[in-house]
Structure 1
Amino acid sequence: MVRELILPGEGRKLYTYQPRNTVSFDVPKGKSFQKRIAFSAAHVVCDPLANTDPLSNGQIDWDETMKYRHHLWSLGLSVAEAMDTAQRGMGLNWNGAKELIHRSVKEARSVGGKIASGVGTDQLRPGPGVTLEDVEAAYEEQCAFVEGEGGQIILMASRALAACATGPDDYERVYNKILSNVSQPVILHWLGDMFDPALKGYWGYENVDEAMDVCLRVIRENVEKVDGIKISLLDDTKEIKMRRLLPDSVRMYTGDDFNYPSLIKGDEQGYSHALLGIFDAIAPAASAALHALDAGDLATYDSLLEKTVPLSRHIFQKPTFSYKTGVVFMAYLNGHQSHFRMIGGMEGARSITHLADLFVMADEAGLLERPDLAVERMQLVLAQAGIR
């Protein structure tokens, strides 16, 4: 029997919790999905023994970081590399991202895994001296690097562009130029300001419908250079609206970590593929659900993913950009890494009560792969907060 835990709850009260046995997910190893493309944005693992300042110069543990990508590929998932889940712009700078992309593309090639990598402008620091030409040059440098590695581009939103653009025409100018020069179709990425406040008013408008019109114009003018678009607005109605307005050849990739089960399942007018940070944390359930969808077993698909939604909404609660802490904590609980240390000191971005609630929700969803180990590790974290 798995040991009981003393957990902190509402109103600073402690309570006893008895974890249950884990669920066994039916996942054929390494088999890809037939009906949906499913990317998991992947996290990075900090090197806890590196004698550097973790806030300004956190180092990556390459062995454990690559091992987790192999875990995702073994479940049939594709990897979205060097995205915000990997703390891009929140601890991982462009130099670190380059090495991460280089290593991950090489590892993907070794096992036939699918991978796409984030391209941005984070070698630029937003400021009054940054011009549109600077933004274009930064995007072009990163695009050239990813294509030189043999990888697919995910064209991420740019903080520098958001800071220097004076209106929608500037966004159209920059995106049209970058897309005209890429050699293979890219995945665009529209990240809402709940994930990154510096992106408020992206596409030149704070109103989502007006911003969507600009983005759609960019896609239509460059349709042969756009594989799809991932939107992360946490608003399923806006995603469905945009999905129905896309050219037939352009895919919608949901980035909605609140409403992904219904968006991926779709409706009579279409569906979304997936490019999700939460798939890092719920990988076995996501894989099993997508295989059930392939088999036409919608009841199993619904059952598996619906159980994960409370956990996902908890991990992605405001401030949303702190969700990386919960994703990495899940990997720690499940033994995919040996510690709970993050670059930028982000392990401290959530409270002990938040992490305790995460533990319970993960258990309820059957996502604690080794309950005894999860309890042992949860107890260590609780002890650090003075709870014994």
Structure 2
Amino acid sequence: MTARITLPTPGGGVAPLTLREPTAWHRPSGPPASRITYAAAHVVADPYADNSPGAPARLDWDATLAVRHDLWSWGLGVAEAMDTAQRGMGLDWAATRELVRRSAAEAAACGGRIVAGAATDQLTRVPDTLDEVVAAYAEQVAFVQRCGATAVVMASRHLAALATGAEDYLRVYERVLREAGAPVVLHWLGDMFDPALAGYWGSTDLDAATDTFVALTHAHADAVDGVKVSLLDAAREVRLRELLPPTVKVYTGDDYHYPELIEGDGKRHSHALLGAFAAIAPAASAALLRLDANDPAGFRTILDATVPLSRHLFAPPTPYYKTGIAFLCWLNGGQPGFTMVGGLHGGRGVGHLVEAFRLADAAGLLRDPDLAARRMRAYLDVAGVAG
């Protein structure tokens, strides 16, 4: 029997919704061949822990690792310990170390692809010198690589607070790249994701910042596997693909324009490292199989249908997109409760999450509509806005 639910509407009323029959997504036999793709995975909080803001992060390890195995089963790689996993928003360095260690071991056991974030968040204050930033980066890069994952050198709030210009960024990153034991991915995260990163690469002028970023990559191309660009600016990413050395991959982090960026323009394309893929994994997998089959129209038909959901999840204030991803995971049975470390389950309002539910249904991404409807009713009961 088709699942039905009554949902609140923006004007204070209610409206019925008949959910779609579940889409018969098929798990692939392996990862896509035409593009390298990573889904940035969220973490599942221990529901018995003190998940208030500022409390040490305690994870439900079974559920957290099951999320990763689900992503691998769809042929996607896992981007571990990135901003989707609440780096800087509840996930402390002690929990991050254990997360990377466990996930890398699981990836090795099942043959899954994995990269993991290396930052400077073990520092408890803005350091006095750039040497301290370099040392913090070096510690985390070395740890990630010892665990068997490719390191993603994430943007550093500490460096952003300390640097006085582009030269300081170049000085730090050049040392980190020289000391890295294997090629890394460089991550440029825009200030829409983290306001503390405004002016990264030494300038609020994005053209000037791009010049610095490109110069660094050309000077150390042998140490850079690729770059992950999260600026939500498709034209800038296309231009960056033209400016970078041909050996350096571009992993799109644009959760608004990923279909066209991954498809490419016939000359160049982006690979993917996306938080959105954690929410749309079955559709992303199916779309990439169409691209492998030289069916770009089929690829776009599937993936374009997910864009309204992704744009909604990543709407301003963008840092709270993690809340919607965890909510959808709960609706789909991927975690026992809707609880997040640092209290981030309160990061979005009822209206936002109701619309996420509607859009996930429209995209065929509610895997068990009956379960999703039951859980949505329970959420609305707690919120005091039951239909």
Quick one: distance in 1 between partners of 2:32 and 2:298?
A: 16
Task: State TM-score, norm by structure 1.
Answer: 0.97
Amino acid at match of 2:61: W
Aligned partner (choices 141, 144, 156) of residue 142 of structure 2 = 144
Aligned partner (choices 231, 235, 238) of residue 240 of structure 1 = 238
Quick one: distance in 1 between partners of 2:266 and 2:288?
A: 18
User: Are the counterparts in 2 of residues 236 and 256 from structure 1 also a CA contact under 8 Å?
Assistant: yes
1:99-248 equivalent positions in 2, closer than 5 A: 99-127=98-126, 129-248=127-246
Q: Judging changes above 3 Å, is the alpha-carbon distance between structure 1 residues 55 and 373 closer, same or farther for their aligned structure 2 residues?
A: farther
Quick one: distance in 2 between partners of 1:209 and 1:109?
A: 40
Instruction: Report the Cα offset of residue 55 of structure 1.
Output: 4.3
User: Are the counterparts in 1 of residues 38 and 274 from structure 2 also a CA contact under 8 Å?
Assistant: yes
Instruction: Report the Cα offset of residue 50 of structure 1.
Output: 2.6
Quick one: distance in 2 between partners of 1:27 and 1:141?
A: 37
Q: Judging changes above 3 Å, is the alpha-carbon distance between structure 1 residues 51 and 314 closer, same or farther for their aligned structure 2 residues?
A: closer
Task: State TM-score, norm by structure 2.
Answer: 0.98
Aligned partner of 2:65 in structure 1 is: 66
Quick one: distance in 2 between partners of 1:115 and 1:193?
A: 25
User: Are the counterparts in 2 of residues 154 and 186 from structure 1 also a CA contact under 8 Å?
Assistant: yes
Structure 2 gap ranges (5+): none
User: Are the counterparts in 2 of residues 22 and 368 from structure 1 also a CA contact under 8 Å?
Assistant: yes
1:10 partnered with 2:10? yes
Instruction: Report the Cα offset of residue 14 of structure 1.
Output: 1.9
User: Are the counterparts in 2 of residues 125 and 160 from structure 1 also a CA contact under 8 Å?
Assistant: no
User: Are the counterparts in 2 of residues 244 and 269 from structure 1 also a CA contact under 8 Å?
Assistant: no
Amino acid at match of 2:31: S
1:81 partnered with 2:80? yes
User: Are the counterparts in 2 of residues 73 and 113 from structure 1 also a CA contact under 8 Å?
Assistant: yes
1:350 partnered with 2:344? no
1:34 partnered with 2:33? yes
Amino acid at match of 1:379: R
Q: Deviations over 1:166-199 (max 9, x none)?
A: 0000000000000011111100000000000000
User: Are the counterparts in 2 of residues 120 and 139 from structure 1 also a CA contact under 8 Å?
Assistant: yes
Quick one: distance in 1 between partners of 2:4 and 2:290?
A: 34
Amino acid at match of 1:232: S
Quick one: distance in 1 between partners of 2:108 and 2:315?
A: 35
Quick one: distance in 2 between partners of 1:56 and 1:230?
A: 30
User: Are the counterparts in 2 of residues 179 and 222 from structure 1 also a CA contact under 8 Å?
Assistant: yes
Instruction: Report the Cα offset of residue 136 of structure 1.
Output: 0.6
Q: Which shifted more, 157-166 or 10-19?
A: 10-19
Aligned partner of 1:385 in structure 2 is: 383
Q: Which shifted more, 55-64 or 217-226?
A: 55-64
Q: Deviations over 1:11-47 (max 9, x none)?
A: 2222222212121123324x11111000001110000
Quick one: distance in 2 between partners of 1:150 and 1:17?
A: 46
Quick one: distance in 2 between partners of 1:27 and 1:300?
A: 17
1:211-290 equivalent positions in 2, closer than 5 A: 211-290=209-288
User: Could you tell me the percent identity over the aligned residues?
Assistant: 51
Instruction: Report the Cα offset of residue 265 of structure 1.
Output: 0.2
SS state at 2:122 partner: coil
SS state at 1:162 partner: helix
Quick one: distance in 1 between partners of 2:341 and 2:101?
A: 19
Quick one: distance in 2 between partners of 1:277 and 1:347?
A: 17
User: Are the counterparts in 2 of residues 130 and 160 from structure 1 also a CA contact under 8 Å?
Assistant: no
Instruction: Report the Cα offset of residue 297 of structure 1.
Output: 1.4
Q: Judging changes above 3 Å, is the alpha-carbon distance between structure 1 residues 210 and 236 closer, same or farther for their aligned structure 2 residues?
A: same
Quick one: distance in 2 between partners of 1:378 and 1:271?
A: 38
Amino acid at match of 2:13: K
Aligned partner of 1:298 in structure 2 is: 296
1:294-333 equivalent positions in 2, closer than 5 A: 294-333=292-331
Quick one: distance in 1 between partners of 2:301 and 2:22?
A: 15
Quick one: distance in 2 between partners of 1:126 and 1:282?
A: 37
Aligned partner of 2:372 in structure 1 is: 374
Q: Deviations over 1:103-124 (max 9, x none)?
A: 0000000001110110000012
Aligned partner of 2:338 in structure 1 is: 340
Q: Which shifted more, 141-150 or 131-140?
A: 141-150
Quick one: distance in 2 between partners of 1:85 and 1:193?
A: 15
Q: Judging changes above 3 Å, is the alpha-carbon distance between structure 1 residues 374 and 196 closer, same or farther for their aligned structure 2 residues?
A: same
Amino acid at match of 2:313: I
User: Are the counterparts in 1 of residues 51 and 340 from structure 2 also a CA contact under 8 Å?
Assistant: no
Q: Matched residue pairs, number?
A: 386
Q: Judging changes above 3 Å, is the alpha-carbon distance between structure 1 residues 141 and 325 closer, same or farther for their aligned structure 2 residues?
A: same
Structure 1 gap ranges (5+): none
Q: Judging changes above 3 Å, is the alpha-carbon distance between structure 1 residues 112 and 191 closer, same or farther for their aligned structure 2 residues?
A: same
Quick one: distance in 1 between partners of 2:369 and 2:284?
A: 19
Instruction: Report the Cα offset of residue 2 of structure 1.
Output: 3.0
